[in-house]
Amino acid sequence: MFEIKAATKVFSAKQGPAISSVSFDVRNGEIVGFVGLNGAGKTTTIRIAVGVSLPTSGTVVIDGRDITREKPEASKSIGWVPEIPNFEPNAKAWKLMRYLAGFYGIDRKEATKESKDLLASVGLSGFENRKFRTYSQGMKKRFSLAVSMLSNPQNFLFDEVLNGLDPEGIQFFRQLMMGQKKVNKAILLSSHILTEVENLADRVVFIHKGKVVKTATRDELASYAAKGTTLRIQFQNITDDAVSYLKTLGTVLIEGNAIVLSDFQGDSSQVNTELVKRGLQVREIKHERTGLEEYFFEIIRRTDTAK
């Protein structure tokens, strides 16, 4: 397992912190989704967690070892697949693997065998002799995945690994993550593809503007979905009367001339009838599916509104 404790990163005093007091953990046998908008701080957090970036304050503990103070030992337990894998471009894949295996104390003969086996296991059999720079984006991610498994680490951090993959690639990663979970590995999955996160994650950590704004379990997500649907009601003009009425039906968020009514359970046509009776001009009522995506946006909306 690994635990991120109050990690803060300031790149520039003028810009403010990229992440601020980010704390969460990923336990063994668990897949944790890590979601947020672009620039929310997901990659920064992951880079700190794997030790390639230094936190301004806070720390990350990997299987009981501090990534900053005990990096070599802590790094042995980490497998990292970055969003854009970046290895020596002119090296042949299997030689690159063998070279990197040396850092784990794997002897040359063993490393040669393991490299070829791992490359085969990620579907790169037959491509071992190609230079890294000739790989496609998907192949680079598979290669990076093979590298991340070199030391059979207890913890995996996948940063937008599903980006740019074809359906077969996405399925491969999905199955791999499920397989690793079954053997009790701790997995952090950062992704924009929220349906995948929803399907895979046991918990989801929401990060927004550098701060963790919510951590939701699979049960919490399920109960959110069970709470009801979300209606998006577009008005000509919003009145206090309309807001008062809709608040009796669910949670109200005002966005311009629209009201987002969540946790709604009922018949939307009756809502329309009642609003018209009250003399309000309803331009549109739209059903929105309740899932991680809505949950995510709702959380963001609430966070921004609270500010």
Partner 1 sequence: MMIRPFLYDFKRTITSTSVLILIGIILLISLAIIPFTTPIVSSFRGSGSDILYYRDPGAYHFIVFSSDQYGQPLQGTKISMSLSGVKTYANATTTNSEGYAFITLSAPNGTYTLAVNETNGANMASFGWYMFASPIGEPQFSIGSPISTVQDRANASKRDVQTFYAALYGAKPSGYSIRYKVAATSPPPPYKDSTPYTKDQMDFLGNLTNYRQVFDPAIADGLPGTTSVWFELFAPNGTAVSGTEIPVFELRQQQFRPEATNIASSFFSTILSFFMPLAAILGAYSSYGKDRLTGVLESILARPISRRGLAISRFLSTLTALAVAAIVSVGLVDLVLNEVVGSVLPQDYALAIISGLVVEIAAFTGLVFLLSHLVKSTGVLLGISIVLFVVLDFFWGLIIFLLTLLLGGTSGSAVALEATLVSYYANPAQFLQLINVYVFQSSSGTTLQSSNYGVTLPAIVLDGFLWAILPFLAFMYLAVKRD
Query: φ, ψ for residue 32 (rounded to 5)?
Result: -110, 125
Q: Work out whether 5 is an interface residue with partner 1 (CB under 8 A).
A: no
* Shortest spacing between CB 55 and partner 1, in angstroms: 10
Within residues 23-52, the interface with partner 1 by CB under 8 A covers 50-52
Q: Work out whether 63 is an interface residue with partner 1 (CB under 8 A).
A: no
- Report the residue number, 48 or 216, with the smaller CB distance to partner 1: 48
* Shortest spacing between CB 116 and partner 1, in angstroms: 19
- Report the residue number, 7 or 221, with the smaller CB distance to partner 1: 7
* Shortest spacing between CB 208 and partner 1, in angstroms: 23
Number of residues engaging partner 1 in binding (CB under 8 A)? 26
Within residues 278-307, the interface with partner 1 by CB under 8 A covers none
- What does the per-residue mask of binding to partner 1 show for 143-182, with x meaning CB under 8 A? ----x---x-------------------------------
Q: Work out whether 64 is an interface residue with partner 1 (CB under 8 A).
A: no
Residues of this chain that bind partner 1 (CB under 8 A): 50-54, 71-73, 75-76, 78, 80, 82, 85-89, 99-100, 102-105, 147, 151
